[in-house]
Amino acid sequence: MEEQTGVPNPQDELGKTDTTPPQDLQEATTNGEHDLQFKSRLDLTELRAHVNQIKSEIGKVIVGQSNMIDMLIASLLANGHSLIEGVPGVAKTISAKLLAKSLSVDFSRIQFTPDLMPSDILGTSVFNLKSSEFEFKKGPIFSNMILIDEINRAPAKTQAALFEVMEEQQITMDGVQYKMDMPFMVLATQNPVEQEGTYRLPEAQLDRFLFKIDVGYPNLEEEIEILNREHILMDKEKTAAITSFLSGAQISKYQSLVSQVRIEEHLLHYIAQIIVATRSNQFLYLGASPRASIAILKASKAFAAMQGRDFVTPEDIKRAAVPVLHHRVVVTPEREMEGLSSGDIIKQIIETTEIPR
């Protein structure tokens, strides 16, 4: 990438007033000294406590992978879907199941296979001999949280069955619209290594996911802890210790709170500048769409709320940008052959984009 001069270091910007809305600051006197305190418009105490409780419940089974867990929770709060990618055995599926078990909501697991049909997911009309009418039998997609394992194992027509339900939270069958019960969240997993017998997800499908979460290997200490826990369990059910405590109504309430998190005008410009930069970058064949900018907005609000803040900072936007964008942009073939990934390019764009003041 071309070097840009005169661009201030984003880290230097973090100490300036654009990260802390001045109207929220109040001056208080403690022990004769003046301190600046924040007065929050939204009460996020309960939300943050429940976020920590979800992490604690999942942490009973999962060792490490804190970034993945944060992304899953943020996706839930932002009312979005997540694609989890990693090699076999890095706790992709079990993490999604643990998140679902910590919530008092309906859960469905769908194993995608090459012979899976759209009706196996959405449902089908069955003729009722008693009433002499067709009745719609709902498929496993009619749930609050859906885990789709190995989403790239199913053919294109089956993947396309998810387009409407993921975007509009409804399906249309025989001219009749069926709304999903809220909250509604799709978690999908895929293996980036073994590609034999798989069907690549089209860009339109990838664009429906708020995040693409890359899951890596644990380090040495985490690997030892995994072995210790497995030895102590002695074939007991791993999810038995997980407590369900958060209802669907509470999740919907928190999603509403997250949408009310404030973001300053200059930070909206910052998001727009990052998105526009992906469209003019010489290393990218396909840039990000307006749906991507909306996704960064929602995700940054979720990250702010998880920290107990009712306003977005540039750090929230930076944290959201890579998992939101790197599955939505396409690297040019020449740069891809050189080993340059979409994540690398996005990070460079973020580093060279000045935070507006």
Nearest to 297 by CA among 349, 342, 260, 336: 260
Residue bearing tokens 């943050």? 48
pLDDT attached to residue 193:
77
Nearest to 76 by CA among 6, 146, 141: 146
**Where would I find the beta strands (DSSP E) of the chain?**
25-30, 33-38, 82-85, 103-104, 107-111, 123-128, 133-138, 145-149, 170-173, 176-179, 185-190, 211-214, 246-247, 284-286, 330-331
Q: Tell whether the model's pLDDT for residue 338 goes beyond 70.
A: yes
Instruction: Give tens-digit pLDDT for 49-86.
Output: 899 999 888 888 888 888 889 999 999 999 999 999 98
- Which of the residue ranges 157-171, 191-205, 314-328 would you say has the lowest mean pLDDT? 191-205
Q: Tell whether the model's pLDDT for residue 274 goes beyond 90.
A: yes
Instruction: Give tens-digit pLDDT for 233-261.
Output: 766 777 777 788 888 889 999 999 999 99
Instruction: Give tens-digit pLDDT for 83-114.
Output: 999 888 888 888 888 888 888 888 999 999 88
Report the C-alpha gap between 35 and 26 in whole angstroms: 8
pLDDT, mean of residues 139-155: 90
Domain boundaries 43-259, corresponding CATH code: 3.40.50.300
Query: Are 261 and 312 contacting, i.e. CB atoms less than 8 angstroms apart?
Result: yes
State the DSSP code for 352.
T
CA distances from 336 to 211, 333, 351 (A): 21, 5, 21
Q: Tell whether the model's pLDDT for residue 11 goes beyond 60.
A: no
- Among positive and negative, which fits the CA dihedral 184, 204, 192, 197? positive
pLDDT attached to residue 262:
92
pLDDT, mean of residues 3-16: 44
Domain ranges of the chain: 8-23+261-357, 43-259
- Which of the residue ranges 6-10, 26-30, 241-245, 273-277 would you say has the lowest mean pLDDT? 26-30
Residue 79: CA count within 13 A, CB half-sphere:
21
- Looking at the chain, the whole-number percentage of residues with pLDDT higher than 70 is 87
Nearest to 266 by CA among 24, 17, 41: 17
- Looking at the chain, the whole-number percentage of residues with pLDDT higher than 90 is 29
Amino acid in position 151: I
Of the CATH numbers 3.40.640.10, 1.10.260.40, 1.10.8.80, 3.30.70.20, which one belongs to the domain with range 8-23+261-357?
A: 1.10.8.80
The mean predicted confidence, pLDDT, of the chain is 83
Task: Cis check for the bond before 202: say yes or no (omega within 30 of 0).
Answer: no
Q: Tell whether the model's pLDDT for residue 21 goes beyond 90.
A: no
Q: Tell whether the model's pLDDT for residue 147 goes beyond 70.
A: yes
Instruction: Give tens-digit pLDDT for 276-307.
Output: 999 988 898 888 889 999 999 999 999 999 99
User: Torsions phi, psi of 189, nearest 5?
Assistant: -120, 155
pLDDT attached to residue 312:
92
CA distances from 90 to 87, 94, 194, 216, 254 (A): 6, 9, 15, 7, 29
Per residue, the 3-state secondary structure of 167-231, as one string, reads HHCEEEECCEEEECCCCCEEEEEECCCCCCCCCCCCHHHHCCCCEEEECCCCCHHHHHHHHHHHH
